C-alpha cells in the first residue's frame, strides 16, 4: 500500500498536462522540431558577432573577446541556476520561455542600437541568458524520454541531431541574408525566428511538465559534490575544445598554409556535418556494443588520428576525404557525450545537463582564445597540433576513468 501511495503521489503532478503529454507521446517529433527551431535561430546569430563588432561597429577585434567572455560567464551562471531549478521541480516551460524572450530581446536591441557598450553591457547578458535554452531543452528531452518509456540514449542522439541540423542551416542562411540586406534586417529576422520559437514553446511544452525523480533537489537544498560528474566533464572539455580550435583555424589554415581555395573550408564542413548527422543516428547501436565511455574513447582516438592526418594534407581531395573522419569522430562524440555525462547523475538530469552544456561553452571559449594566441605566436598549422593534443588528452582521461554506476532508471508513462 505504501508503494502504491508513493506512486500515486508522484504521478499526481502530471495529471494537468496528460492531454498534451499524450499528444507528444504520439508525435515525439514535435519535441525535436522545437529544438530544431531553437538551434536554427541561435546558430543564425553566431557567425555575425565578429562581423558586427569589427565591420558594423568599427571596433578593434579584441573587443569581441570581451563580449564573448561576458556572454559565456552569464551562460555558465544561468545553466547552473536552471539545472538546479529543474531538479527542484520548477516547470521547464517557465525556464525555456525566459531564455527565448531574452534571446529575442537581444536580437532586437542589436538591430535598433549600433552601440558597442549596449552590446557589451546589455545584449551580451541577454544572449547569455538566452543560451540557457539549450541546456533546458536537453533536460526536457531526457525527462520526456524517461516519462514516456523511450530509449534515453537514442532520444538524446536525436536531440543532438537537431542541433547539428540547425547549425548546418543557420549560419549559412544568416550570412547570406546579411550579404543581401545588412545587419539590422538580419537581426530583426532572427528576432522573428525567436518569435516562432516562442510560439512553438507555448504550444508544445506542457505548462506543468517537471522532473519526476523522487531524489530531485528540494528547495534550499545544496547540490551534493559529485566527483564522477566533474570527471566526466573533463574529456568532454578536451574533445569539444579540440573541435573548436580546428574549426576556428580551418578557413585560414586551408587558405594560407595549404594554399587551397577559400571555399574549401565550406566544402569540408558540409561533408563533416553530413557524416556527423548519419553517425549520430547509429550511436545508440554503438553504445549497446561498447558502452558510453569506450564509445567516447573511440571518438577521442579518431579525433587525434584526424588532426594528425589533416596536418599532413596537401590537396583538396585530401581535405574532403579526411572531413569524413572529422564527421565520424565528432558524430560519435555528439551522439554519446550528453548521455555519458548524465549517467553520472541520473537522478539529477538538470544539474548533469547544465554541467555538460557549460563544459561545451567553456571549451569553446578557451579553444577560440588559444587559437588566436597560438596562431599569432607560431602559425595556423601549429593550432592543428594543439587540437590533436587536446583530443589525445581526452582519450587518456577516458582510458583511466571508470564507467558510471547506473541504477535501474525510474520510468513513468504519463
Q: What is the CATH number of the domain that holds 72?
A: 1.20.1250.20
Q: Domain total for the chain?
A: 2
Q: Distance (Å, rounded) from C-alpha 236 to C-alpha 397?
A: 10
Q: How far is CA 348 from CA 137, 229, 352, 360, in A?
A: 15, 11, 6, 19
Of 147, 171, 204, the last residue of a domain is: 204
Give yes or no: residues 232 and 196 share one domain. no
Cell of 251: 578557413
Give yes or no: residues 134 and 181 share one domain. yes
Would residue 411 count as lying in a domain?
Answer: no
Give yes or no: residues 176 and 85 share one domain. yes
Closest to 333 measured CA to CA, from 162, 160, 163, 171: 160
Give yes or no: residues 200 and 234 share one domain. no
Q: What is the pTM of this model?
A: 0.80
Q: Per residue of the chain (414 residues), what is the pLDDT tens digit?
A: 344 444 443 444 444 456 777 788 888 889 999 999 999 999 888 878 877 887 888 887 778 778 888 988 999 899 889 988 888 888 899 999 999 999 999 999 999 988 999 999 999 999 999 999 988 999 899 888 888 888 888 888 888 888 888 887 888 788 888 888 888 999 999 999 999 999 999 999 988 888 776 655 555 556 666 788 889 999 999 999 999 888 878 877 887 888 887 678 778 888 888 898 889 888 888 888 888 899 999 999 999 999 999 998 888 899 999 999 999 999 999 889 988 998 888 878 888 888 888 898 888 888 878 887 888 788 888 889 999 999 999 999 999 998 877 544 434 333
Give yes or no: residues 107 and 56 share one domain. yes
| Per-residue confidence (pLDDT) for residue 402, from 0 to 100 | 86
| Per-residue confidence (pLDDT) for residue 102, from 0 to 100 | 96
Give yes or no: residues 200 and 296 share one domain. no
Would residue 212 count as lying in a domain?
Answer: no
| Per-residue confidence (pLDDT) for residue 24, from 0 to 100 | 81
Would residue 209 count as lying in a domain?
Answer: no
Would residue 217 count as lying in a domain?
Answer: no
Give yes or no: residues 174 and 111 share one domain. yes
Which residue range is the domain that position 70 belongs to? 9-204
Amino acid at each position: 500500500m505504501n508503494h502504491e501511495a508513493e506512486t500515486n503521489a508522484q504521478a499526481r503532478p502530471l495529471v494537468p498536462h496528460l492531454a498534451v503529454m499524450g499528444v507528444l507521446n504520439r508525435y515525439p517529433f514535435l519535441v525535436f522540431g522545437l529544438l530544431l527551431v531553437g538551434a536554427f535561430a541561435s546558430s543564425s546569430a553566431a557567425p555575425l558577432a565578429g562581423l558586427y563588432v569589427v565591420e558594423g561597429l568599427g571596433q578593434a577585434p579584441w573587443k569581441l573577446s570581451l563580449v564573448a567572455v561576458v556572454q559565456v560567464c552569464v551562460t555558465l551562471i544561468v545553466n547552473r541556476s536552471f539545472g538546479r531549478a529543474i531538479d527542484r521541480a520548477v516547470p521547464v516551460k517557465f525556464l525555456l520561455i525566459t531564455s527565448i524572450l531574452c534571446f529575442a530581446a537581444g536580437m532586437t536591441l542589436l538591430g535598433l542600437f549600433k552601440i558597442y557598450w549596449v552590446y557589451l553591457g546589455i545584449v551580451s547578458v541577454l544572449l547569455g541568458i538566452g543560451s540557457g535554452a539549450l541546456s533546458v531543452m536537453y533536460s526536457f528531452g531526457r525527462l520526456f524520454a524517461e516519462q514516456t518509456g523511450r530509449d534515453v540514449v537514442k532520444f538524446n542522439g536525436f536531440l543532438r541531431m537537431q542541433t547539428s541540423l540547425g547549425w548546418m542551416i543557420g549560419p549559412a542562411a544568416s550570412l547570406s541574408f546579411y550579404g543581401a540586406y545588412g545587419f539590422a534586417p538580419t537581426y530583426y529576422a532572427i528576432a522573428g525566428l525567436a518569435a516562432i520559437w516562442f510560439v512553438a514553446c507555448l504550444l508544445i511544452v506542457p505548462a506543468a511538465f517537471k522532473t519526476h525523480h523522487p531524489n530531485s533537489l528540494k528547495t534550499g537544498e545544496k547540490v551534493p559534490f559529485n566527483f564522477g560528474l566533474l570527471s566526466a566533464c573533463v574529456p568532454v572539455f578536451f574533445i569539444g575544445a579540440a573541435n573548436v580550435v580546428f574549426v576556428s583555424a580551418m578557413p585560414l589554415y586551408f587558405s594560407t598554409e595549404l594554399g587551397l581555395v577559400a571555399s574549401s573550408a565550406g566544402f569540408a564542413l558540409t561533408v563533416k556535418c553530413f557524416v556527423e548527422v548519419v553517425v549520430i543516428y547509429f550511436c545508440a547501436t554503438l553504445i549497446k556494443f561498447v558502452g558510453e565511455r569506450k564509445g567516447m574513447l573511440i571518438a577521442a582516438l579518431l579525433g587525434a588520428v584526424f588532426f594528425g592526418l589533416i596536418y599532413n594534407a596537401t590537396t583538396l581531395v585530401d581535405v574532403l576525404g579526411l572531413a569524413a573522419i572529422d564527421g565520424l569522430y565528432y558524430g560519435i562524440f555528439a551522439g554519446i557525450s550528453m548521455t555519458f555525462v548524465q549517467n553520472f547523475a541520473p537522478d539529477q538530469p538538470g544539474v548533469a545537463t547544465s554541467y555538460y552544456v557549460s563544459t561545451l561553452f567553456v571549451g569553446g571559449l578557451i579553444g577560440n582564445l588559444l587559437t588566436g594566441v597560438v596562431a599569432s605566436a607560431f602559425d595556423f598549422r601549429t593550432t592543428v597540433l594543439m587540437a590533436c593534443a587536446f583530443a589525445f588528452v581526452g582519450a587518456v582521461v577516458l582510458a583511466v576513468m571508470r564507467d558510471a554506476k547506473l541504477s535501474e532508471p525510474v520510468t513513468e508513462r504519463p
